[in-house]
Structure 1
Amino acid sequence: MAFDGSEGTSIDPNTAGDWTRNFRDNSTSGNNAHFFGREILEQLLAEEGAVGIRFYYGLDDNGDRQLLAVAADAEQNDLLENDNIVADESSCCPPYSSSSNLLNS
């Protein structure tokens, strides 16, 4: 199945809250969320052939969880040629956390 850019959907915020609570209750990583700014996300989406963004989990040299983002094309391939970028250095939560809400408390 090819990507067409419409993948993904919204879910009920209460369900999302349940899922993030389940994660926090069962995770030992310390990172509950990552924030990428608009500029890097727009750069990924502006890459030639991009129909969306794929996110990867990784562990850095310190053993800390990282979230990486790369543009993907309609054939489900990551765009990693021709000077395409991979986004990193998101702001981790904690310490860069939102005020208390359904997703984090």
Structure 2
Amino acid sequence: MTIDNNTGSVITLDEAIGYTHTFQGNNPDAIKSFFAGINKINRILGQDDCIGIRFYNGEDPVTGKNNLVLVGVDKDGEDITQGVILERLTVCPTHCPKNSVLIKP
């Protein structure tokens, strides 16, 4: 499978609910979601030759808390590691949406 600036699939809300509720049911103590602000996302996407973002699972070596590492990707599918790399995203819990159907009740 190749990657390009159109990689990924748009899914329905029902599919999204199925994925998130299944994960949350199987992993009740796990982080439910991560949030990154638009300005930070745009800094990654605005880099020369950037066609998208790769999301890495990460863990803080000091606190042991999970998070995501976001890095731009170029047209060859390589990480843009000399550019903007984003981490320390806001997580749910504790900053959760109040009315999202993607959070399992």
TM-score (norm 1): 0.89
Higher RCO, 1 vs 2 (CA within 8 Å, ≥6 residues apart): 1
Which aligned runs of 4 or more in structure 1 are off by greater than 4 angstroms? Answer: none
The runs of 5 or more residues in structure 2 that have no matched partner are none
CA distance in 1, matches of 2:29, 2:59: 10
Q: Identity over aligned residues, as a percent?
A: 25
Corresponding residue number in structure 2 for 1:47:
47
Deviation at 1:29, TM superposition (A): 4.8
Corresponding residue number in structure 2 for 1:73:
74
After the TM superposition, which of the residue ranges 28-37 and 52-61 deviates more from structure 2?
28-37
What secondary structure sits across from 2:50 in the alignment?
coil
What secondary structure sits across from 1:51 in the alignment?
strand
1:17-69 deviation line (CA, Å, top 9, x unaligned): 11111111122553110000000100000111100000011111222110110
TM-score (norm 2): 0.89
What secondary structure sits across from 1:67 in the alignment?
strand
Corresponding residue number in structure 2 for 1:86:
85
After the TM superposition, which of the residue ranges 91-100 and 23-32 deviates more from structure 2?
23-32
The alignment's C-alpha RMSD in Å is 1.4
Deviation at 1:99, TM superposition (A): 1.7
Corresponding residue number in structure 2 for 1:13:
13
What secondary structure sits across from 1:104 in the alignment?
coil
CA distance in 1, matches of 2:17, 2:30: 17
